[in-house]
């Protein structure tokens, strides 16, 4: 049920949807004063949620910091799936998505000998095509570039962060690994992911990737020019903040 609720909320918590609704209301209402009010609110909402400077400053407060390479070697690195890769039937190719930085950072850690094994946690995030698991696609790619199959563990049942933690911890316990695991996920998701894994009883060290904010800019375009990317980032930020809040209320993290 939580999986389906999260999908519904992802559509509701979308600033672009709010802006469209406001403009539609402005078209539908008859009273000129009310129409003007809706148009004004719509443009104000559009300015706030498409402004790169405002978006970055809020995002900066939530994202986990990017750290240097770990100084010690970890027995296992947990790579959380989610918008990393999908499969294209027409071309029989893997198509990499916006979350691919997590995968690249994991490969870098493995090649440098900083993680001995890679545990990929991620089932299907689709309401349909439940048999298409991201973890299986990622393993196929890793093996193709020379990573030993013996060093790859696949957890392909999970559909959210709580399930990531539950199924992953079970695997690690069966492997009898006692030392902390390196948790690899996006800077935006790290706060909820780390808290959820620790709530389930696994000692993890966070390794954040895919940071969306860079150095603080005060150029004209960053301060004034609207950005479609910023609108999308707000959508992702709201989704993560609400997810963290719900997890807190339910006792998941």
What CATH number corresponds to the domain at position 94?
Answer: 3.40.50.620
Give a yes or no: residue 183 inside a domain.
Answer: yes
Q: Are residues 160 and 241 in the same domain?
A: no
For 70-87, give the DSSP string.
PSS-EEEEEEE-SSSEEE
115 in a structural domain? yes
Asked if 165 and 98 sit in the same domain, the reply is: yes
Same domain (yes/no): 91, 202 = yes
Two structure tokens written together for 197: 């894994």
Q: Which residue has the higher pLDDT, 132 or 131?
A: 132
User: What stretches of the chain adopt beta strand conformation (E)?
Assistant: 74-80, 85-88, 93-96, 115-121, 152-155, 181-186, 204-209
- DSSP-derived letter for residue 88 is E
Task: Give the count of domains, the chain.
Answer: 2
pLDDT range class, residue 128, cuts 50, 70, 90: very low
Q: What percent of the chain has pLDDT over 70?
A: 92
Strand partners, 111: none
Q: What is the pLDDT of residues 149-190, one digit of tens each?
A: 999 999 988 888 999 999 999 999 999 988 999 999 999 999
Asked whether residue 86 is domain-assigned, the answer is yes
The pLDDT of residue 16 is 87
| Domain shared by 159 and 106, yes or no | yes
Q: Answer whether residue 90 shows pLDDT above 90.
A: no
Whole-model pTM: value is: 0.86
The reply to whether 217 falls in a domain is no
pLDDT above 70: residue 78: yes
**Judgement on whether residues 13 and 79 belong to the same structural domain of the protein:** no
Same domain, 123 and 245: no
The answer as to whether 215 is a domain residue is no
Indicate if the alpha-carbon torsion angle 3, 61, 96, 73 is positive or negative: negative
For residue 125, give its domain range.
Answer: 74-209
What 3-state DSSP class applies to 216? coil
Within-domain flag for 69: no
Same domain, 32 and 107: no
Which three-class secondary structure state does DSSP give residue 213? coil
49 and 138 assigned to the same domain: no
More confident residue, 253 or 13: 253
Rounded mean pLDDT of 4-19? 75
Decide: 194 and 204 in contact? Cβ < 8 Å. yes
Count Cα neighbours of 66 within 13 Å in the Cβ-side half-sphere.
12
């Amino acid at each position: 049920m939580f999986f389906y609720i999260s999908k519904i909320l992802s559509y509701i918590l979308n600033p672009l949807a709010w802006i469209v609704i406001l403009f539609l209301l402005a078209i539908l209402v008859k009273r000129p004063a009310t129409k003007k009010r809706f148009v004004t609110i719509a443009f104000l909402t559009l300015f706030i949620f498409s402004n790169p400077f405002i978006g970055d400053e809020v995002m900066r407060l939530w994202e986990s910091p990017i750290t240097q390479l770990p100084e010690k070697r970890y027995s296992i690195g947990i790579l959380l799936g989610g918008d990393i890769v999908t499969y294209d039937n027409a071309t029989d190719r893997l198509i990499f998505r916006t979350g691919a930085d997590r995968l690249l950072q994991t490969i870098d850690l493995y090649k440098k000998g900083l993680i001995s094994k890679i545990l990929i946690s991620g089932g299907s995030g689709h309401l349909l095509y439940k048999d298409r698991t991201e973890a299986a696609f990622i393993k196929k790619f890793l093996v193709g570039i020379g990573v030993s199959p013996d060093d790859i563990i696949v957890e392909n049942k999970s559909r959210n962060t709580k399930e990531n933690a539950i199924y992953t911890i079970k695997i690690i316990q069966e492997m009898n690994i006692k030392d902390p695991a390196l948790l690899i996920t996006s800077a935006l998701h790290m706060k909820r992911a780390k808290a959820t894994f620790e709530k389930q009883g696994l000692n993890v060290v966070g390794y954040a990737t895919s940071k969306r904010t860079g150095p603080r800019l005060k150029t004209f375009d960053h301060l004034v020019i609207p950005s479609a990317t910023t609108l999308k980032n707000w959508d992702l930020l709201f989704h993560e903040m609400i997810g963290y809040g719900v997890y807190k209320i339910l006792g998941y993290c």
